[in-house]
Amino acid sequence: MPYLHATGLALLALASVWYPCGADVGDFSPCLNFFYKSWPPKGLSGTPICQRYENQYRFASLYRRQRRSPVFSAYIYSQPEGKRPSSDWKFEPQLADATADGNMALFPPGVLDPNVVNSQAVKQDYHNTSFTRGHLNPSLHHETHTDRLSTFTLTNVVPQKEGSNNGPWEKLESAVNHTLGSYCVGEAYVVTGVIPYQEDVHWIKGHRVAVPEYLWSAYCCPKYNESILNAARLGEFFPTYAAIGRNDPNSTEEIVPIDRSSHKMFWGYDVKRMPLDTLEMYLKQRFGSVINVFYEKCLALR
Ligand SMILES: *[C@@H]1O[C@H](CO)[C@@H](O)[C@H](O)[C@H]1NC(C)=O
Ligand SMILES: *[C@@H]1O[C@H](CO)[C@@H](O)[C@H](O)[C@H]1NC(C)=O
Ligand SMILES: *[C@@H]1O[C@H](CO)[C@@H](O)[C@H](O)[C@H]1NC(C)=O
Ligand SMILES: *[C@@H]1O[C@H](CO)[C@@H](O)[C@H](O)[C@H]1NC(C)=O
């Protein structure tokens, strides 16, 4: 039955072209593999984005349209190779038009589609400001060049002060690379997100893109080498550990104290490492709801 066969193939082809287009924004189901046990963090609200680049899912982000910035990005760590790429910035076409292509795209030259500008941050939002584009999912935590390029999309970045981005937060990303690269023997799942200001929303240049007061990050590495960890006295860092970093020297010090001896460029941008439980306690305080970052706190039977 060659006729039926051909029709079946055509239908299959249609299905595989259409399905991911509809699902990249609004649903994590095509990219649940980036979460430990396929279980996205609970207690945070926003629009799921399966971050697709060159027709492959690379990581996942939870996005807040009102803030025009992400709540978190989730990814699987892999040991980096080569230099940090320089890349032009990309956007998510489906936030502006649900029927658009699901791949992230480079900003076109010239005047931007107002629906794109309305739905997300654009490069101009960051021009002439004191904020850098802070990756939640950093290019440093990926092995392949294409995975690294895919992190340069504005739905993966938040307004981050340079003192944090080029100081203590960069040190944290580097420490996590060394810890996971040296001691994690299976997959390492990482989630990195923001804590908004408690009262007034702070915006870049007073409008459009919301600035976070803190950044947080947590990893879950269910498979690790216990004997070498114990020998290195690093047992407390596995299977899971977390951190919170300041993004504003004017913040109070209950969550992260200021190291008064730090260099003035980095003064007030400290990062505090802490167990996952402690992070979740602060998240609960600040978001006003119970937040679970990993399935069974990453302590489930391994
Ligand atoms: C940034 O500032 C420069 C110099 O003041 C100005 O020419 C430029 O238009 C500004 N760009 C944006 C996006 O505001
Ligand atoms: C990442 O960590 C690995 C393993 O510890 C290390 O060999 C490598 O030099 C680190 N890469 C960077 C860019 O720091
Ligand atoms: C843990 O590391 C030690 C020392 O490198 C090695 O001999 C041992 O086989 C490793 N165990 C596992 C379960 O990977
Ligand atoms: C901190 O507060 C002071 C005084 O209100 C203000 O001048 C300064 O710009 C603030 N710093 C930051 C980084 O917001």
Give yes or no for residue 86 having a pLDDT over 50. yes
User: For residue 117, what pLDDT band results from cuts at 50, 70 and 90?
Assistant: very high
Helices (H), 120-209: 123-126, 145-150, 162-165, 168-183
Contact residues of ligand 2, CB 6 A cut-off: 79-80, 174, 177-178, 181-182
Domains and CATH numbers, the chain: 6-298 (3.40.570.10)
CA 96 to chain CA centroid, Å, is 20
Is the separation of the CB atoms in 240 and 297 below 8 Å?
yes
Q: Which atom of ligand 1 is nearest to the CA of 127?
A: 13
Please report, for residues 17, 104, 137, 150, the alpha-carbon distance to residue 53 in angstroms, rounded to integers and kept in the order given.
Answer: 15, 6, 14, 6
Task: Please give the average per-residue pLDDT across 6-15, as a whole number.
Answer: 43
Task: Tell me how far the alpha carbon of residue 77 lies from the centroid of ligand 3, in angstroms.
Answer: 21
Nearest CA to 147 among 223, 236, 102, 85?
A: 85
Q: What is the pTM of this model?
A: 0.90
Task: Please give the average per-residue pLDDT across 186-215, as a whole number.
Answer: 96
Task: Tell me how far the alpha carbon of residue 229 lies from the centroid of ligand 3, in angstroms.
Answer: 10
pLDDT tens per residue across span 232-243: 888 899 999 999
Would you state the torsion angle of the CA atoms of residues 158, 94, 61, 215, taken in this order, to the nearest 10 degrees? 10
Give yes or no for residue 223 having a pLDDT over 80. yes
Give yes or no for residue 9 having a pLDDT over 80. no
pLDDT tens per residue across span 265-275: 999 999 999 99
Task: Tell me how far the alpha carbon of residue 18 lies from the centroid of ligand 3, in angstroms.
Answer: 46
CA 39 to chain CA centroid, Å, is 15
Q: Which of 79, 179, 182 to mutate to test the pocket of ligand 2 (most atoms within 8 A of CB)?
A: 79
Task: Tell me how far the alpha carbon of residue 62 lies from the centroid of ligand 2, in angstroms.
Answer: 28
Is the separation of the CB atoms in 63 and 47 below 8 Å?
yes
Task: Tell me how far the alpha carbon of residue 248 lies from the centroid of ligand 2, in angstroms.
Answer: 29
Nearest CA to 55 among 104, 22, 108?
A: 104
